[in-house]
Structure 1
Amino acid sequence: MTLVPQASTRQQIATLIHTPEDACRWMRGINGPHRLEVPRPRDLAFRHEGTALGNVSIGIIEYSTRVTIKVDDLAQSYSISLPLSGDQHIEYGRREFASDARVGAIISPHQPLHLNIGEDCRKQLVRLSREAVHHRLGQLLGRKVTSPVIFDPRMPLEGHLGDWWKTVAHLQELLGAEGSLCDLPEVWGNFENSLITSLLYAQPHNYSGELLGRQQARPGYLDQLVAMMRESLDQPLTLDDLERASGVSRERLYQDFHAHFGAAPIAHFRNLRFDWVKRRLEHAGPRESVSSIAMDCGFLQLGRFSRDYQKRFGERPSQALGRHRQDGIVRH
């Protein structure tokens, strides 16, 4: 059983397990708490191959015998699977559905269900952290998300969902390549953000109505300003700059930003900048420091930055430095 670092932050996953206890322990470390039942334990040959990076892991798993997985609450993960061969059967509440190469499945935190996996089922598995999904949804809604995002477990490969799985396959290929662009924190941050954002829009969940309502009602110029903000995170940006770029009054700017993002224009820009510096710190290389990253991200008053960071995230910047490099290995 191995989980070998492939690069400064990427972790290559490769394991072959023959005992139910070890297989359950391994997947508990990947996805979260569950129970595994194996009617024919001698036939078990559990394989998991893939890559973990940041808030995402993508790989292939198979058990080689019929198994049942019982989940009460994955707690901190979203587990998304799509059979490449064979099938699986999902039961939740009083409903059930079959999952095969045309229908994927999502297990959300706070969502009890039973998963019956066929002996010939070989499936693609995507794990997203609950924190990352909730954080991104909060950005899109312009407010803090307090209750778990619970997706409809059934995920038919139609329209945008088919495109989402194509994105997964592309990222899996990038993650498996040496010297990939994924090793650049800024690049992977965009990939990760796009993967989560497109899932939130494509797959129904308990916040879909609010999310789509905000998207339809949001003035187009706001998206242009937010794109401008993201391109200027390492540069000074003033209210005058935003007013000139938008072509609307300052009063209208404040009204629309508060209505759609829950913050004033410059406060929203500062929120984006803090999100960026947090990602940079967590994916920092061995030669990077808090001060160098903070200044790269436009924070020139380091004492104030450290105080504001701790107030916002509940930890010092030094505690986040290189977190994904240091803690990328799954522990049993």
Structure 2
Amino acid sequence: MLTLQPAVPQAHQVLDGLPTLRTPDPLEAQERISRLFCEHTLRPLSMRGTVKLNLRSSGGGFGVHLLDYGTTVRIDPGPLGSFYMVQLPLSGRAQLRCSAATIESTPTVASIPPIDQDFSMTWQQGTPQLIVTAPREMLATAAKSLYGARLDGPLRMAHSMNVDTPQGRSFVRAVFEYHDLINDPLSAPAPYTRHLQEETVLARWLLAAKTNADSGPADRDLPAGEARGSSLTAAFTRLLQMHSGEDLGVRDLAEALGVSIRTLQAALAADLGSTPSQLLREERLRRAHALLLAADVRTDSVAAIAQVCGFGHLGRFSQSYRQHFGFPPSQTLRGPKPA
């Protein structure tokens, strides 16, 4: 499990529960990768002109992938167009070149290829990469949800991500958690569990990368003295909606927002008259209530839904739920539901 790793995992640990595609033929490698990602030209730079492809993938759309060419290669794709991609070397180095910049990618700096222009990449020998892909509309929707912003045109993103920062490490941790969720095909997670983890990865991706959505457009129409507190409160509220089911605390939330706990507490007290801990608990209760209403009593349980929503102790969850809604969670699960 990658979540148990103290540092960047080794390539053989990534998606080790899924089948591996291997080939020395660069044409076959190009065809298979084109089918998975996008059309491109692959050119081995070794004397033999061969590759040692190792590919493992959770599939198209939103996914996690392990890709290693086993030798130095040059890759020339067209614009990605319909999806975004983050590429994190597990070792070695790679270069991404586009009109805006040249990115030197290492185990602490991930590359994010542009989606609307041509680019080229050189992967040095010994550079297996952990790749995360997300459909363009899926990530844009997550940005609107996270920032409450109408984007001025398409979502734009910097072409690198420093994963050796608090936000970068949070992103990698979320990817590892998603990886461990889907790595065993014999124990597939419930659809809502998988969806919640996908949302977590997307939100942390956006928090770790520089985008044209993270400048706080909600501030634009506010007086200068009110802008910081109000936008921070709005960002905190949206962060809760995306992450309330995770095992996190107030310190994690403040870190993700780039402020101190005291600053966060002051903003919430001024704007909402509440505390971060109270708002986190209430958001978890609301999510639990929604999941219980939608649950099937034949296959779902109060304990499982409580755990998905971030409650580790069933007794305390049931007590808090009854105090908040006026009836026990088991009643919501069984129905008929209260008006």
Structure 2 length as normaliser, TM-score? 0.56
Q: How does 1:57-96 map to 2 (within 5 A)?
A: 57-93=63-99, 95-96=101-102
Q: CA deviation at 1:107?
A: 1.5
Q: How does 1:1-332 map to 2 (within 5 A)?
A: 12=18, 14-40=20-46, 42-52=49-59, 55-93=61-99, 95-142=101-148, 145=151, 147-157=153-163, 158-177=165-184, 180=187, 183-210=189-216, 213=219, 216=228, 217-218=230-231, 220=233
Structure 1 length as normaliser, TM-score? 0.57
Give the secondary-structure state (helix, strand or coil) at the position aligned to 1:59.
Answer: strand
Which position in structure 1 is the counterpart of 2:324?
Answer: none
For the aligned residue pairs, the C-alpha RMSD in angstroms reads 3.7
Q: Quick check: 182-191 or 218-227, which moved more?
A: 218-227
Q: CA deviation at 1:140?
A: 3.5
The answer on whether the counterparts of 2:80 and 2:116 sit within 8 Å (CA) in structure 1 is yes
The answer on whether the counterparts of 2:95 and 2:121 sit within 8 Å (CA) in structure 1 is yes
Which position in structure 1 is the counterpart of 2:224?
Answer: none
Q: How many corresponding residue pairs?
A: 224
* In 1: Cα distance, 2:97 partner to 2:91 partner: 20
Q: CA deviation at 1:164?
A: 0.7
Greater fraction of residues in strand: 1
* In 2: Cα distance, 1:134 partner to 1:120 partner: 33
Q: CA deviation at 1:71?
A: 3.0
* In 2: Cα distance, 1:121 partner to 1:222 partner: 36
* 1:201-226 per-position Cα deviation (integer Å, ceiling 9, x unaligned): 22102222246858953484897699
Percent identity of paired positions between Structure 1 and Structure 2: 16
Query: What amino acid is aligned across from residue 67 of structure 1 in structure 2?
Result: V
* In 2: Cα distance, 1:29 partner to 1:91 partner: 22
Of the two structures, which has the highest relative contact order with CA contacts closer than 8 Å and spacing of 6 or more?
Answer: 1
Give the secondary-structure state (helix, strand or coil) at the position aligned to 1:209.
Answer: coil
Structure 2, unaligned runs of 5 or more: 1-16, 221-226, 245-289, 295-339
The answer on whether the counterparts of 2:18 and 2:185 sit within 8 Å (CA) in structure 1 is no
